Amino acid sequence: MTSRPLPGVSIEGDASKPTLVLLHSIATSSEIWKPLTPLYTSAFHVVCIDIPGHGDAPRLKVAADMKHYADYVHEVLETLQLRPQAMLGISLGGMIAQAFAATSESLQAVVLANCSNFTPEPVKRLWDQRLASAEHMGMEGQVEATLERWFTPGFSSRSPLCMRWISRLIRNTSIDGYADAIRAIQALDHRQSLKSLELPVLAVAGLHDLAVPVSVVQTMVAGLPRGQSLTLADSAHLSCVETPIAFAENTAEFLLDVLR
CATH number, domain with residue 204: 3.40.50.1820
Model pLDDT, residue 245? 98
Q: Is residue 1 part of a domain?
A: no
Q: Is residue 114 part of a domain?
A: yes
Residue 178 to residue 73: CA distance in whole angstroms = 18
Q: Is residue 4 part of a domain?
A: no
For residue 150, with 0-12 CB atoms within 10 Å meaning exposed, 13-18 middle and 19 or more buried, which class applies? buried
Q: Is residue 35 part of a domain?
A: yes
Report the chain (260 residues): mean pLDDT per 10 consecutive residues. Answer: 84 98 99 98 98 97 96 97 98 99 97 99 98 96 97 98 99 98 98 97 99 98 98 99 99 98
Enclosing domain of residue 66: 9-259
Q: Is residue 228 part of a domain?
A: yes
Q: How many domains does the chain divide into?
A: 1
Contact 235/206 with Cβ under 8 angstroms?
A: yes
Model pLDDT, residue 1? 58
Termini Cα distance of the chain? 25
Q: What are the C-alpha distances in Å from 234 to residues 105, 204, 242, 243?
A: 35, 12, 8, 7
Q: Is residue 2 part of a domain?
A: no
Q: Is residue 54 part of a domain?
A: yes
Q: Is residue 104 part of a domain?
A: yes
Across the strands, what pairs with 9?
49
DSSP state string for 217-256 = HHHHHHT-TTEEEEEETT--S-HHHHSHHHHHHHHHHHHH
